[in-house]
Structure 1
């Protein structure tokens, strides 16, 4: 149960579990009151929530998540869920997770939730009573805990940020999750990609520093296990050999998916237009060089309606476009390297080259795509680019960002841009006018409602 102790001040950003929970609950409960009132009252959220939680609430609000959302039957179930779990990289880590995390929390009244890189629950562990209670609020195998689906929660925030975190009681965006505390940590593969999330969830006892430390330690051990597995595979040459029966096509393959133009595949000196679905598949396979099973690929393309037969048909049509030598099966994978403009943009960001990143950013990743896997890539790149531009404090970079569709209504970017301009110049007055328009549109102080890291 959530504590009812009152008093104190809202915990600071980065506060550890064990911070004054009573004060946190009181302030978060007030925040829910203002959230329900909406309109001008939303400006008051900034003084009541930890900054990371505030940013998540605002994203949840913009995404149309209803705080009063009730549990429904959406999710992956039955044989589809079993196949997906069995083919997921986390499956090989379950004995380790059981030994280091599940067994250590047995008898504490808490549960362990194992989720994939998108926030979908793969399994829930604990005694029968606690697992059943968790299911009643939406912590069930097959359920989607991503921020875009259910708003602020520990698993969803880890998926969004890639960092360990904890969410307590009424800090959850959904009212039905107010009676739990969650401490969660990410698991990354050797290439740094998120492959899963581990969470301990339960009562106030979870809100202790040692609980988050235990989850993080287990996640680190899982990452080391993945690294050792990859090293052994590399020593056997598994990751570097192409199947001799499927020779590599001449020339370099390139995939362009940024911006509003039609996606294209470059083969040698020829540019081949791609349909939206084919571009989605190639991008997802490029992002998962280890390959994707049919169930996993279907989930990344459409988390509700796509069946394996439809995926097989799409792959067959794609082979006719790009050639059979490019695609492997069981699992579906790229047999040859495909350089993507997404990869190039990431490399520029990794090196701190903001100018190159902005040049490469022709627009969002497949902007008309609604595939969950593509949406996650799109959101990741936009957030990384935005933070890089804001942190650069460079007038030229800020001008280019605010001139584009994704930065046009970015109040924090306009505020940063204003700080780089002479206050006596006509440009300063134009920027000031834009900020005031954004303030009125949001019905609040936009610069406070949209911090740099949101």
Structure 2
């Protein structure tokens, strides 16, 4: 596809406004100035949910003028995920309520999984054709961190219904569209399964459209509840044929990489200290691979994964061999609950990673939470470019956020960390921000004297 300026404009319903926000150009200019600076733009006139989401998009390094949703899943991948995903059970009800009954306006209806992959996109044929220009297609990933501010992605991020009107979208390619979306949850466990979205003209970004989507989502969850209650072993969460809980409702494995020479993998459902939980220590290469796979749910090609693992030439066949060995390790460590798929290489099964939790909190602007979770640098012995990039992203992001906060408690906590103890600017900022009589001032003064020799 060409650049944002060269793409043809989609044909949308008559009366559709290209941009309801006369301040959008100002928002874009403010966002450009903040990109790469570790700062959130101030967006005059923006709704809070929109301003917060644009801030996360900027902190995530997304360029609104070039941004297009990735399409990591091919048709075979989508078919495979559909066969296993519990939302296939609610598709007839969604079609009946949103597509078979005329709504008075053209509409696209989409269902995604919990990671934002669009598994079903149905509705008006002319809108579907136009939506291909912005990659609103089956197999595309519309999570907020991949596609910027948009109703399905932001609803997944916040865990609540969201509407986005035209120019409130972060990506320029999407600024002519409007959408409303609501999360869908397993009624037995409360775990997020995916999102229901309607997309089209301005009418679909209004409160009435959001109310409709919420009502249909409630019907869909009620359908899931009925099926769970009538399935074997009812009460333990939504069941798939054969009695297996879907991946979205299973306890995740846990990957620990912060402040560790090698990664530690705790099996799903593990409790207590690592020594008593069956946790498996991973070699450095396997830890690097698992971290990179967890950091990019949409997956990697063998060649790009080779580049992320080594600065020197690393043959894709070598990467494939390492992945084969990693599969065997994961099979033993998680009893088959976590694996590595192909086309592209990506994790199958749920995993939570301490480093990615820090990144998530940081991007959401929760600096204190991010700092509390940050147990040290990411795999400090690793020189794999992809790992080094994540390590530097967290270190720089935390440092910048702490400095901008001017919060004495956060400044002191960062200053006491491995990354911050020799950071003169942090201790100077603490000395200026701490209140008279605060013991932190004495510690800052003593540290500065040592640093200045």
Q: Taking structure 2 as the reference length, what is the TM-score of the superposition?
A: 0.59
**Match in the other structure for 1:18:** none
**Match in the other structure for 1:327:** 335
**Match in the other structure for 2:80:** 83
Q: Among 117, 121, 129, which residue is 1:120 paired with?
A: 117
- The answer to whether residue 114 in structure 2 is matched with residue 101 in structure 1 is no
Deviation at 1:183, TM superposition (A): 0.8
Contact 1:75–1:304 under 8 Å retained in 2? no
**Match in the other structure for 1:411:** none
Relative to structure 1, the CA distance from residue 158 to residue 267 in structure 2 (aligned partners, 3 Å threshold; closer, same or farther) is same
Q: Structure 2 CA distance, aligned partners of 1:277 and 1:92? A: 40
Range with bigger deviation, 71-80 or 153-162: 71-80
**Match in the other structure for 1:233:** 232
Q: Which runs of 5+ in 2 are unaligned?
A: 1-14, 243-251, 266-273, 306-316, 341-349, 362-367, 422-426, 445-453
**Match in the other structure for 2:210:** 212
- The answer to whether residue 30 in structure 2 is matched with residue 27 in structure 1 is no
Relative to structure 1, the CA distance from residue 255 to residue 160 in structure 2 (aligned partners, 3 Å threshold; closer, same or farther) is closer
- The answer to whether residue 282 in structure 2 is matched with residue 274 in structure 1 is yes
**Match in the other structure for 1:250:** none
Provide the secondary structure at the position in 2 that maps to 1:125: strand
Q: Structure 2 CA distance, aligned partners of 1:208 and 1:29? A: 22
Contact 2:224–2:238 under 8 Å retained in 1? no
Q: Structure 2 CA distance, aligned partners of 1:112 and 1:406? A: 47
**Match in the other structure for 1:445:** none
Q: Structure 2 CA distance, aligned partners of 1:358 and 1:71? A: 31
Q: Structure 2 CA distance, aligned partners of 1:82 and 1:185? A: 23
- The answer to whether residue 375 in structure 2 is matched with residue 362 in structure 1 is yes
Q: Structure 2 CA distance, aligned partners of 1:38 and 1:397? A: 22
Deviation at 1:263, TM superposition (A): 2.0
Relative to structure 1, the CA distance from residue 304 to residue 107 in structure 2 (aligned partners, 3 Å threshold; closer, same or farther) is farther
Provide the secondary structure at the position in 2 that maps to 1:81: helix
Deviation at 1:78, TM superposition (A): 2.3
Relative to structure 1, the CA distance from residue 420 to residue 228 in structure 2 (aligned partners, 3 Å threshold; closer, same or farther) is farther
Relative to structure 1, the CA distance from residue 278 to residue 33 in structure 2 (aligned partners, 3 Å threshold; closer, same or farther) is closer
Contact 1:233–1:239 under 8 Å retained in 2? no
> Any idea what the Cα deviations from partners look like across 1:176-214, whole Å, max 9, x if unmatched?
211111111111223333221111111121133221011
Relative to structure 1, the CA distance from residue 214 to residue 30 in structure 2 (aligned partners, 3 Å threshold; closer, same or farther) is same
Q: Which runs of 5+ in 1 are unaligned?
A: 5-20, 244-252, 285-295, 333-337, 350-354, 409-413, 432-454
Contact 2:72–2:299 under 8 Å retained in 1? no
Contact 1:319–1:327 under 8 Å retained in 2? no
- The answer to whether residue 151 in structure 2 is matched with residue 154 in structure 1 is yes
Deviation at 1:235, TM superposition (A): 3.7
Range with bigger deviation, 51-60 or 136-145: 51-60
- The answer to whether residue 132 in structure 2 is matched with residue 130 in structure 1 is no
**Match in the other structure for 2:264:** 264
Deviation at 1:327, TM superposition (A): 1.8
Contact 2:412–2:440 under 8 Å retained in 1? no
Higher helix share: 1
Contact 2:161–2:182 under 8 Å retained in 1? yes
Contact 2:120–2:138 under 8 Å retained in 1? yes
- The answer to whether residue 197 in structure 2 is matched with residue 199 in structure 1 is yes
Relative to structure 1, the CA distance from residue 268 to residue 322 in structure 2 (aligned partners, 3 Å threshold; closer, same or farther) is farther
State how many pairs are aligned: 359
